[in-house]
Structure formats: structure tokens, C-alpha cells
Amino acid sequence: MTKTNFKAVKALFTSEIDHKILDVVREAFNIISKEAELDKAIPMEIYDFSNFKVKVNKRSTLDQMFEDCIIEKPKKVDLGKLVGIFLNLLMNSHGNDYFDSYYLIATQKYDLKTDNSNFVIGGAWDNIGAVISLLRITGENLPKNNIPKKISFDDFEKEMIITETLHEFGHVFGCAKEGRKYTINKLGSHDDPEFINDCVMLQGMTVPDDWIRMTKKRLKSEHAFCELCREELKDHFST
């Protein structure tokens, strides 16, 4: 079978996430599909945990996996440990070639912690998938006085989720690779300063304020990604 980077996305949600979020996340992949000029939209479907052939501590739901990786209260999860456990489970259940067929997105409301930061709102792995936290970009953590007046709070909340999904899967799909000439906030490579104000691949250091600004700019712009990132998306899916 010929390997291709055009693959379906398997979506996973912890129990506190309304599955209506599925349509919001799907819209992010529709946007990526357009930005990459794909002939059809990247498909997405909910992962069925009954497919797990092995379990974590005799438990197998995503909630339980997150609980096993909590390192601080309230609910701060070790992202590296979680991903290591989860990827091993998937490969043990489906085989080492599972990621030749699917990307993964796990959406939840736990805080995520890495060795280099007190918290992150997401993590991405090249050509594999991403974990996204909604905790700091939705609900009571999203200041109502800082959103556009022409959009409802609920709708802007959805747009914040789309921006974060675009950003993390931009990394998954090869955007803002190492080696670019310009960097943003000393976190990862980006692009020419002419484009940096109109791209979801900016690094949002202040949460949620930077992500609110990024979302506002995205909604006003013709494109979610800058020209260089769009070229990188096209390169990724040309394989």
C-alpha cells in the first residue's frame, strides 16, 4: 500500500467534553483543507475505545488515562507521560503502522504540563497528532469583555477552539518548521515579519489574551495561515 499524508483524523474526547465540539474541530480541518488546496476535506471520526486490546491499569477510557498522568492538583497532566502511554497503547492495539492510516486529536479540559513550562494549552507531534486543552481558552477563563461585540460568546468560544486546533495541527502538518529565518517570542520558527500578524502559527505566550487576538485577526483575514505556512501545508499533503 502506498503511504500518503492525506489520512483521516481520529477524534478522542474526555467525558466532560460535549460531542458537539466534534463539529467545531471538524471545521478546523475544513479550513486546513482549503488552505492546503486539497481536492476534498480531511475526514474526521470519533475513535471507538472498544478497539483497545490492552488497558491502562485495567482501565481503558481517555478520562482514566488522563487521571493516571496527573502530577499536580487540580488536574495538571504530564503531557509527555500521557502521550507515551497513549501511543504505546494504540500501537499495541492496532500495530505499528496505525499512524500510516490516521492522525489523532485528543480534546479535553485538563491543564497540560511539560518539562519546560508550567502549563501549555496543546501539544503536537509531527505527522501523528495533537492533544488540546480547552481549560484556559473557553468558559469562565475567556473574558467576555475582550471578545468582538458582533459575535456571541458561545460562537467566539468555538472560534477559539478552531484557532487552537489550526495551530496544533499546523505543527502536525509541517508548518513553522525549524530553520526558518524569523522566530516568534523565541518559541519555534515562523516567517517573514510581513506575514506574522496574520497567521495562526504565532506562539501565543499570554493565555488567553494572545489567542483572543489571534482569533480576531483570523476572522478578519482571508487566510488562517500565512503564505509560507500555506506552502508548507501543500508540501505536506503532496506526499
pLDDT in tens, 117-139: 888 999 999 999 999 999 999 99
pLDDT in tens, 24-65: 999 999 999 999 999 999 999 988 776 666 555 555 577 878
Preceding peptide of 43 cis, ω within 30°: no
What does pLDDT average to over the chain? 84
Preceding peptide of 148 cis, ω within 30°: no
User: Percent of the chain at pLDDT above 90?
Assistant: 46
Question: What CA–CA distance (Å, rounded) separates 103 from 92?
Answer: 16
| DSSP secondary structure, 84-141, as one string | HHHHHHHHHHH-TTGGGTEEEEEEESSEEEETTEEEESEEEETTTEEEEE-TTTSGGG
Q: Map out the domains of the chain with their CATH numbers.
A: 8-237 (3.40.390.10)
Q: 88 or 128: whose pLDDT is higher?
A: 128
The answer on pLDDT for 220 being more than 90 is yes
Is 235 in a helix, a strand, or coil?
A: helix
Task: Give the pLDDT of residue 55.
Answer: 57
